[in-house]
């Protein structure tokens, strides 16, 4: 790697909260597949935006996550999805809220960023724009799962207030991805169904730049998850980047912002962060947060506090030596399951 080059990384999360043990395996399987897919796309195209979007789209299709199919429901039993993309090169933003009948809100957020003069589209306007852009339409039945229905029934039966509900008790979770390429270019992507029992029209943290996510090539990239109304009030994503700019490491900055949020406005959350130098920050003060990243030939993942599992990409390195110069290096993937 040339000097001043960053070792590329793609880091994703599958939601923070009180995730029941019965949901852990499904989330871990999903998050490992999603990060591999995002990494593969990134290697094929060299594009961080394409890589992060591919990882998010995988999780939007997997009902182990609260995004796209599997999104949680409003008190009226409906889905209102939200998504945000931030491109760190010139801090361009694309965001949608109150979106229905599409599988990939993240694709719609990207279209807002690339094809409109605006940053955020909401409700009918966002849905109509998706239709005009030719995004495939799906019925609500294709998106609403049994898990989401029973989480709402339980919520209504127990007469809960969404503000006192610990996020993730439905067992699913918001999804997010951050990445940096070799030139230090970064993006942040986040997608969610929000929180079970939210009011119709509620806007959470996810679609709000600086709360649900943020990216600035001069500093780093963040995606958050957890109690959205608290994350929103404390501008968690932007705060993390501010702390990094002041000299804190990615982990210290995430911890300071999230513990600061819990102390100042209450509730719990988590965040994933990469810096412009490729430093990784993973922190949550909720009970669990599924996360995974690939850098080089290693896949790291975890879901419990302090847990980190590392998988190695098995390889043979064949080195051809000619004229006393190391000429060529060929890497053969032996482990077909890795990618
Ligand atoms: N699970 C989550 O991360 C929920 C999301 N932050 C929201 O409150 O809308």
Q: What pLDDT, in 10s, does the model give residues 90-140?
A: 999 999 999 999 999 999 999 999 999 999 999 999 999 999 999 999 999
Distance 167 CA to ligand 1 centre (A): 7
Q: Is 192 in the pocket of ligand 1 (CB under 6 A)?
A: yes
Specify the pTM.
0.92
In which band, very low, low, confident or very high, does the pLDDT at 169 lie, cut at 50, 70 and 90?
low
Segment 207-235, tens digit of pLDDT: 999 999 999 999 999 999 999 999 999 99
Segment 301-310 shows an average pLDDT of 93
* Cβ of residue 38 lying under 6 Å from some atom of ligand 1: no
Domains belonging to the chain, first-starting first, are 9-194+203-305 (3.60.20.30), 306-339 (no CATH)
Assess whether the C-beta atom of 94 lies below 6 angstroms from ligand 1. no
183 Cα–ligand 1 center, Å: 31
ipTM score for this prediction:
0.98
Q: Quote the DSSP letter at residue 179.
A: E
Alpha helices (runs of H) in the chain, residue ranges in sequence order: 21-45, 48-61, 105-115, 123-132, 140-143, 146-157, 228-234, 236-245, 250-264
- In the reported structure, the alpha carbon of residue 99 is separated from the centroid of ligand 1 by a whole-number distance in angstroms of 15
């Amino acid at each position: 790697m040339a000097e001043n080059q960053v070792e590329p990384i793609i880091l994703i999360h599958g939601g923070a909260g009180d995730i029941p043990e019965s949901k852990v395996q499904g989330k871990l399987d999903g998050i490992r597949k999603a990060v591999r897919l995002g990494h593969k796309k990134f290697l094929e195209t060299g594009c961080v935006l394409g890589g992060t979007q591919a990882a998010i789209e995988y999780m939007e299709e997997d009902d182990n996550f609260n995004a796209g199919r599997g999104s949680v429901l409003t008190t009226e039993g409906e889905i209102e999805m939200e998504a945000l993309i931030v491109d760190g090169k010139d801090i361009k933003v694309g965001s949608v809220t109150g979106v229905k009948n599409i599988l990939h809100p993240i694709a719609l957020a990207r279209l807002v960023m690339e094809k409109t003069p605006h940053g955020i589209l909401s409700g009918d306007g966002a849905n109509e724009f998706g239709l005009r852009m030719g995004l495939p339409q799906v019925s609500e039945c294709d998106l609403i799962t049994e898990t989401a229905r029973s989480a709402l029934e339980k919520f209504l039966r127990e007469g809960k207030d969404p503000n006192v509900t610990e996020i993730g008790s439905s067992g699913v979770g918001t999804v997010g991805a951050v990445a940096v390429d070799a030139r230090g270019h970064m993006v942040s992507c986040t997608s969610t169904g929000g929180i079970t029992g939210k009011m119709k029209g509620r806007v959470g943290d996810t679609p709000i730049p600086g709360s649900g996510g943020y990216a600035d090539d001069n500093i780093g990239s963040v995606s958050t998850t957890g109690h959205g109304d608290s994350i929103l009030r404390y501008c968690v994503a932007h705060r993390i980047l501010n702390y990094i700019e002041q000299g804190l490491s990615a982990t210290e900055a995430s911890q300071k912002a999230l513990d600061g949020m819990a102390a100042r406005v209450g509730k719990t959350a988590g965040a994933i962060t990469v810096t412009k130098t490729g430093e990784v920050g993973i922190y949550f003060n909720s009970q669990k947060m599924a996360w995974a990243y690939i850098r080089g030939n290693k896949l790291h993942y975890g879901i419990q506090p302090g847990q980190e599992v590392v998988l190695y990409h098995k390889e043979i390195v064949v080195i051809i030596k000619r004229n006393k110069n190391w000429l060529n290096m060929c890497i053969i993937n032996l482990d077909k399951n890795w990618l």
